[in-house]
């Protein structure tokens, strides 16, 4: 577990350093994720401590959003004066994104299943 | 004779000067929110993040505690978003065989959903008269908070406002997903999970994991890929388009 957490922080650190150094317009942790992904892809198995640390963090993922959410306090004024565009944009675009993603993926999955059946079928 | 008891307000003021208060309140509020959610049969409308945020905002306002004071302690929870993004590499790696096999549906769903989220949000907010800063802060609202805040900073939005919009989007997606999928007759848990991950990032993913393990795996895949691609593409698109604005 401790080794796993350390690895996550080391990769995040490398990511932050690379971003500062190269001026890439990408958040540091994303570079850390890409590098860790690349490392794992070159190895066969995920070390157990890393597995434990990662699933521990990700299983409480929604907790991690609470402090940022409470930040709504700081933006009451903006949210109050622009509540209509914000509320409509968030609700409608989220429903549309859910629907379009699901319909596109269902369509493409069905097409792929048909193709696999054609190739692999008797 | 024992010393007289201190008034509660003084104890509160003392506690508020240490990180203990904000940290403890965050954990307690989330677990209370989760308890209500579990007791309510995991009804998506009783989202634990929404309940925790509402309870904390009410408490901080009622006690006159500033967000800065609260964040002294809450920052330890907030900080973990960074390592959590790095940790996404692990489930992504485990999904690699699936990603190879379902490459076209995954990329197709990702691109369609991501474009729909950004374009429809911007068009609606713009048509209803949102300010430019609000529009820029809205762009990454379907991406997980730490990545979205980074993108907002790069393109000239307000990262803290983006964080709020991201959390609101996640709550809306997690709450409404079930109704949208049922209305469209989408029963495949891979598709339901993937759409939740695209539209509602980590909060949608948390919801997907609570409903079905395969839905959760696809949601995690979707929100990791969406975050990683958006982190590279959104600022690049913005820099390319900036000359026309």
Mutate to test the interface with B, among A33, A42, A45, A115 (most CBs of B within 10 A): A33
Q: Give per-residue burial for B163-173: e unless 16+ CB within 10 Å, then b.
A: bbbbbbbbbbb
Chain B residues lying within 8 Å of A112, measured CB to CB: 102, 104-105
What is the tally of structural domains in chain A? Answer: 2
User: Do residue A78 and residue A114 come from a single domain?
Assistant: yes
Tokens encoding B80:
């973990």
CA B175 vs CA A42, A94, B53, B82: distances in Å = 39, 11, 15, 25
Total-model pTM: 0.83
Instruction: Sketch the domain layout of chain B as residue ranges.
Output: 8-79, 85-242
Range of the domain at A8: 1-59
Tokens encoding A55:
């699933």
Ranked by mean pLDDT, the top range of A19-33, A69-83, B35-49, B103-117 is B103-117
User: Do residue A35 and residue A82 come from a single domain?
Assistant: no
Looking at A80-94, B20-34, B218-232, which range is the least confident one?
Answer: B218-232
Q: Is the ipTM of this complex over 0.90?
A: no
Using the 3D structure, point to which of A59, A78, A105 is the last residue of a domain. Answer: A59
User: Do residue A75 and residue A120 come from a single domain?
Assistant: yes
Euclidean distance between CA atoms A111 and B175, whole angstroms:
30
Mean pLDDT of chain A, nearest integer? 89
User: Do residue A81 and residue A118 come from a single domain?
Assistant: yes
Cβ-defined contact of B61 to A73 (cutoff 8 Å): yes
User: Do residue A14 and residue A40 come from a single domain?
Assistant: yes
Tell me whether residue B15 is exposed, middle or buried, using C-beta atoms within 10 angstroms of its C-beta: 0 to 12, 13 to 18, 19 or more.
middle
User: Do residue A55 and residue A91 come from a single domain?
Assistant: no
Using the 3D structure, point to which of A59, A91, A109 is the last residue of a domain. Answer: A59
Q: Is the separation of the CB atoms in A47 and A1 below 8 Å?
A: no
Mean pLDDT of chain B, nearest integer? 89
Using the 3D structure, point to which of A22, A41, A59 is the last residue of a domain. Answer: A59
Distance from CA of B69 to the nearest CA of A (A): 12
pLDDT of B235 reads 82
State pLDDT tens for residues B172-217: 999 999 999 999 999 999 999 999 999 999 889 888 988 888 888 8
pLDDT of A49 reads 93
User: Do residue A36 and residue A17 come from a single domain?
Assistant: yes
Chain A from 65 to 94: CB within 8 A of any B CB: 65-75, 78-79, 82, 84-86, 88-94
């Amino acid at each position: 577990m401790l080794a796993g957490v350390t690895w996550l922080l080391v990769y995040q650190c490398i990511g932050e350093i690379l971003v500062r150094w190269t001026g890439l317009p990408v958040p540091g942790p994303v570079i850390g994720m890409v590098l860790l992904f690349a490392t794992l892809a070159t190895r066969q198995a995920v070390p157990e401590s890393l597995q434990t640390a990662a699933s521990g963090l990700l299983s409480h993922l929604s907790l991690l959003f609470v402090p940022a959410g409470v930040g709504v306090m700081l933006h009451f004024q903006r949210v109050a004066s622009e509540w209509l565009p914000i509320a409509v944009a968030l609700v409608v675009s989220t429903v549309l994104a859910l629907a379009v993603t699901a319909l596109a993926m269902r369509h493409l999955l069905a097409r792929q299943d048909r193709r696999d059946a054609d190739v692999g079928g008797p | 004779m024992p010393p007289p008891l201190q008034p509660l307000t003084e104890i509160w003021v003392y506690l508020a000067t240490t990180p203990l208060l904000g940290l403890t309140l965050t954990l307690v509020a989330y677990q209370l929110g989760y308890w209500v959610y579990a007791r309510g049969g995991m009804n998506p409308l009783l989202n634990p993040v929404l309940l925790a945020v509402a309870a904390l905002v009410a408490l901080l306002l009622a006690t006159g505690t500033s967000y800065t004071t609260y964040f002294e302690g809450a920052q330890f929870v907030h900080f973990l978003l960074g390592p959590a993004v790095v940790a996404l590499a692990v489930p992504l790696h485990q999904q690699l065989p699936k990603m190879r096999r379902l490459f076209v549906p995954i990329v197709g769903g990702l691109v369609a959903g991501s474009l729909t989220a950004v374009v429809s949000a911007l068009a609606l907010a713009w048509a209803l008269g949102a300010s430019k800063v609000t529009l820029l802060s809205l762009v990454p609202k379907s991406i997980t908070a730490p990545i979205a805040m980074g993108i907002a900073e790069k393109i000239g939005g307000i990262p803290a406002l983006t964080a709020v919009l991201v959390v609101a989007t996640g709550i809306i997606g997690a709450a409404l997903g079930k109704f949208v999928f049922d209305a469209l007759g989408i029963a495949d848990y891979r598709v339901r999970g993937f759409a939740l991950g695209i539209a509602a990032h980590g909060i949608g993913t948390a919801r997907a994991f609570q409903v079905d393990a395969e839905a959760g795996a696809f949601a995690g895949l979707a929100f990791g890929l969406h975050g990683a691609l958006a982190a590279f593409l959104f600022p690049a698109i913005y820099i390319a388009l900036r000359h026309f604005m």
